[in-house]
Structure 1
Amino acid sequence: MDIEKKEEKPLTTITTNQRKHKSRKCLCICISLTIGIILTIGIIILILALTVFKPKKPVTTVNSVAIKDLDASINLLPPRVSLNVSLDLNISIKNPNKVSVKYRNSSASILYKGDVVGDVPIPAGEIGSDTTKEMNLTLTVFADRLLTNMDVYGDVVKGELPISTYTRIVGKARILSLFNIRIVSVSTCDLDISITNRSVANQTCHYTNKA
């Protein structure tokens, strides 16, 4: 009786298939490890960005406002006021972030009843991490801008000139060299200038910060 022999696969074919299977398995493991590492790094970066490197609001504080120069005179006929005012404004900006903050060209202004009557530029700069930067600014009232407001005459006659200072700093913090966070810090101070005593009275400041 003839016994049918099973057809045997060549050894080379079996070896080739095993190698292909092993290569695919290794590739899948490598891809899984790579994805796992990327996800882990992403989670770590996210945790750091939300905790240690979470952007915090810088704080702009007006330390003092003092009169540097004051010259006022009144002409009764015709009614006319000559007024020159310069203020020394000392402010400090605290950066509570763990990274430095770069701020662009900004300005500080003097306002009289809502109208800008003087300003001074604040050049762009940088504040280091956990650092407070102090600035001394001189604000001068432009007399020609006051002449258009008829309320000035009455205030000078009373001997008290109500004005406001406004400072706005716009910058950005770069978190982990990946994200740029825009930061704005605003300070306003309402005060009265006593023309008789040549002093600043009733100073009230407000601070607004956002990130």
Structure 2
Amino acid sequence: MKVGPGQGRKVCLTVTGVVIALVLLIVILALTVFKAKHPVTTVDSTKLEDFHVSLDIAKLRVDLNVTLRTDVSVMNPNKVGFKYSDSIAHLNYRGQLIGEVPLPAGEISSGETKGFNLTLTIMADRLLSNSQLFSDVTSGTLPLNTFVRISGKVSILGFIKVHVLSSTSCDLVINLSNRTVGNQECQYKTKL
């Protein structure tokens, strides 16, 4: 079958039009339906699991053993899964790292909320070296901060990969008299 010059041009224009339409459709879907959204990291609760304190007034020394149970959830609002790498949750006292727990790599499916139950044990030697600890213990409160950062990628349409970093920082106070956690305030940040 012989194709004339006019028919070849029509076939070429039709194929080009279909390819352009498909590219536009993919771009529109990537910018609307499949647009990468921020995963939301939330500290659901913080409980004092183990707490022992003794005060030696003669030596101005505090012996302390504290374990916090923190429940964190990460919600993936994207239409595709979110793969995250190994991470670490930190426990801080007045800006100083005093405890940490690893978060193993994993994946959160589309629309899923994944919970993490973290047990943070305080590194007593780091805490006891802080000069403000004695005054905090005698006042009856211990100010702490939990920090969780999760880094990963969202894959859109299988070939567009968007790097995502979600973090949560919560300031809280342990009331030493009744061994409860109070005054918890959290800040959430996400970067795409």
The interval holding the TM-score normalised by the smaller chain is over 0.9
Corresponding residue for residue 56 of structure 2: 75
| Per-residue CA distance 1:55-88 (angstroms, 9 max, x = gap) | 1111111110000101111222322111111100
Which among 33, 51, 75 is matched to residue 94 of structure 1?
75
The 5 A counterparts of 1:144-163 are 144-163=125-144
Corresponding residue for residue 38 of structure 1: 19
1:148 Cα offset (Å):
2.2
Distance 2:11 2:95 in 1: 65
Larger strand percent: 2
1:144 Cα offset (Å):
0.9
Name structure 2 gaps, 5 residues minimum: none
The 5 A counterparts of 1:1-211 are 22=4, 24-211=5-192
TM-score, normalised with respect to structure 2: 0.94
Q: Which SS does the other structure have where 2:36 is aligned?
A: coil
1:109 Cα offset (Å):
0.8
Distance 2:80 2:59 in 1: 59
Q: Considering only aligned residues, what root-mean-square deviation do their CA atoms show, in Å?
A: 1.5
**Residue identity matched to 1:66:** K
1:166 Cα offset (Å):
0.5
1:32 Cα offset (Å):
2.4
**Residue identity matched to 1:133:** K
**Residue identity matched to 2:46:** V
Distance 2:38 2:183 in 1: 27
Name structure 1 gaps, 5 residues minimum: 1-18
**Residue identity matched to 2:85:** R
1:165 Cα offset (Å):
0.5
Distance 2:8 2:168 in 1: 59
TM-score, normalised with respect to structure 1: 0.86
- Aligned-pair identity (%): 44
1:26 Cα offset (Å):
4.4
Aligned residues: 191
The structure having more radius of gyration, on CA atoms, is 1
1:27 Cα offset (Å):
4.2
Larger helix percent: 1
**Residue identity matched to 1:53:** F
| Per-residue CA distance 1:158-206 (angstroms, 9 max, x = gap) | 1110001101111111000110011111111111101111110111111
Distance 2:102 2:19 in 1: 46
1:208 Cα offset (Å):
1.2
Q: Which SS does the other structure have where 1:38 is aligned?
A: helix
